[in-house]
């Protein structure tokens, strides 16, 4: 009995082997209407890349969402993923949890699609990664992505500060315009993106139905341009801020279109770029003051207040 007790104590005291880390993988999902999603898990990093699988428009916009399990960074690239246009670092746990929940659900679906014993349409591939052989992608290093995003934000803040102080030597106005232009136009469209590339109002791109949604949204009469002030609010981002009614019509139009191009535009716009819209309220403000600071004349003006957009 004594020997058995000693043996049990030694067994409990012995260090336990660490559980084996879950193997990494690369999952590729091609939707029939042209949207391409790639999910990668490697060494505690969870990444999802969304783009349009159109060889003729390989220079288009790319959305990358990467998490280390605690934070989530969202990045939009142009030139097929080479140029960082805008980004955001989300530290709220709910945002990270929702991303990881969708990621794991997509992972299970990709594993089932790769199971040859199941009769699943071959629109998805699943490839396991060796622990000693990292994936070829160079954008999975989470600290590097966070640093690049912070650097981009510092640059824009410095340009805004220079423009506010009237520092002509830095050409702040021209550089801010370049930042806005870098958002570009979504491939296959002439209206989806910053500005438009259409020569005439009726000109539409290859994805005409998606383009019509963007064209109508671009002509919303109530908007605040990037880096501009209107309705008592300064829009510090390079993207136009629209009235909530216009955004809701835009979201409904894209959902009804239901193509890969429409879904790509919807995800970029509502889930990353413009999670906010604004409503207008009439407020009474002083128009003229007396010498002693008493208001002599009031006026009513429209004031913008931000609201959360519905996710796509």
Q: Which residues are catalytic?
A: 217, 247
Distance, in Å, from the CA atom of 164 to the CA atom of 169, rounded to the nearest integer, reads: 13
Distance, in Å, from the CA atom of 253 to the CA atom of 222, rounded to the nearest integer, reads: 18
Distance, in Å, from the CA atom of 168 to the CA atom of 192, rounded to the nearest integer, reads: 32
The answer to whether residues 177 and 163 touch, using CB atoms and an 8 Å cutoff, is no
Neighbours of 3 (CB within 10 A): 7
Nearest CA-CA partner of 141 in 73, 89, 84: 73
**Helical spans, DSSP H, in 222-302:** 244-257, 260-266
Nearest CA-CA partner of 246 in 280, 197, 272: 280
Distance, in Å, from the CA atom of 188 to the CA atom of 250, rounded to the nearest integer, reads: 18
> What is the distance in angstroms between the CA of the first residue and the CA of the last residue of the chain?
66
Residues facing 49 on adjacent strands: 38, 64
The answer to whether residues 302 and 93 touch, using CB atoms and an 8 Å cutoff, is no
């Amino acid at each position: 009995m004594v020997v058995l007790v000693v043996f049990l104590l030694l067994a409990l005291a012995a260090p336990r082997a660490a559980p084996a880390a879950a193997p990494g993988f690369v999952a590729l999902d091609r939707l029939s209407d042209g949207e391409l999603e790639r999910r990668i898990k490697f060494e505690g990093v969870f990444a999802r890349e969304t783009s349009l699988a159109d060889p003729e428009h390989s220079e288009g916009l790319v959305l990358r969402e990467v998490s280390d399990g605690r934070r989530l960074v969202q990045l939009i690239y142009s030139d097929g993923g080479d140029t960082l246009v805008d980004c955001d670092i989300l530290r709220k746990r709910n945002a990270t949890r929702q991303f990881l929940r969708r990621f794991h659900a997509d992972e299970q679906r990709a594993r089932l699609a790769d199971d040859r014993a199941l009769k699943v349409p071959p629109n998805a591939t699943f490839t396991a990664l060796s622990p000693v052989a990292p994936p070829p992608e160079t954008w999975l290093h989470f600290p590097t992505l966070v640093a690049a995003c912070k650097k981009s934000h510092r640059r824009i803040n410095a340009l805004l500060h220079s423009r506010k102080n009237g520092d002509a030597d830095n050409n702040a106005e021209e550089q801010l315009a370049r930042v806005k232009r870098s958002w570009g136009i979504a491939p296959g469209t002439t209206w989806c993106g910053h500005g438009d590339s259409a020569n005439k109002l009726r000109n539409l791109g290859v994805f005409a139905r998606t383009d019509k949604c963007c064209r109508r949204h671009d002509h919303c009469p109530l908007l605040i341009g990037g880096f501009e002030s209107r309705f008592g609010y300064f829009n510090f981002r390079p993207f136009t801020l629209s009235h909530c009614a216009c955004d809701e019509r835009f979201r409904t139009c894209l959902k009804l279109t239901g193509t890969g191009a429409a879904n790509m535009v919807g995800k970029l716009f509502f889930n990353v770029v413009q999670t906010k819209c604004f409503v207008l309220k009439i407020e009474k403000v002083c128009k003229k003051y007396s010498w002693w600071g008493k208001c002599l004349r009031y006026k009513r003006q429209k004031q913008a207040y931000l609201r959360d957009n519905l996710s796509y």
